[in-house]
Amino acid sequence: MPTYRHQKTGERFFFVHIPRTGGRFVESNLHQNGWIVEQDNIWECLEGAEVAHFHRELYEKYFDVEGIPHIAVVRNPIDRFISASIYLTEAYGNNIQESAEDEDQLKAMIADFPMPESLGWFRQQIDYLSDKTNVWKFENGLGRRFSKWVSNIVGIDIKMDAFIKYPMSRREGVTQLHKTDKLIDTIKSMYKEDIEQLYPELLL
């Protein structure tokens, strides 16, 4: 959830890094385009949350974000949760499909998650957004159109390199939960506000 300053022009903007929405790819491209993170250590924890993934309440408290553009990438809540489920299977084992399909049991697993500083992976996306946030949907791609969109907002041309190397989580490749009808219904119930506000087409 860093603020960025351009090393040549001094222009600033705020990237609202919602977990599991392509943030590490975007951040690596920003760095390649001359944007420098202003925070010393985005992976430290404050108030039980990683700085990199501060939600709105915390970034408005700790960061100087007034008067600068805010951008965020959001993702279909079902796909985002399935992507984040690698952390659940790593923590609880690969045989949790049936438990995860039950909303009460899934909520309990998240509540008891052994890395509470990383609960942002399962937080609703609307908790990260404000009325100042310019929002892009992950499903629309992070290529040329995204580059043009960001460039128009920050006022400096940004080019996205589809082949850029970026830091991968050591958990990538860990077994995900299966996208069964039962799990989809549970996800829809748990992330109802995200769906209503960001992806209403999922209600049809």
CB atoms within 10 A of CB 176: 16
In the numeric block, the tokens 């008067």 are attached to 67
Give the full edge-to-edge strand order of the sheet including 70-74. 35-37, 3-6, 12-16, 70-74, 133-137
Q: State residue 118's pLDDT score.
A: 81
pLDDT digits (tens, 9 = 90+) for 126-146: 999 999 999 999 999 999 999
The pTM assigned to this predicted structure is 0.93
Residues in the chain: 204
Helices 103-111, 77-92: axis angle to 10 degrees equals 60
State residue 173's pLDDT score. Answer: 62
Residue numbers of the chain with a pLDDT score lower than 70: 168-174
What pLDDT, on the 0 to 100 scale, is given for residue 48? 87
CA 127 to chain CA mean position, Å: 11
CA 110 to chain centre: 17
pLDDT at 117: 79
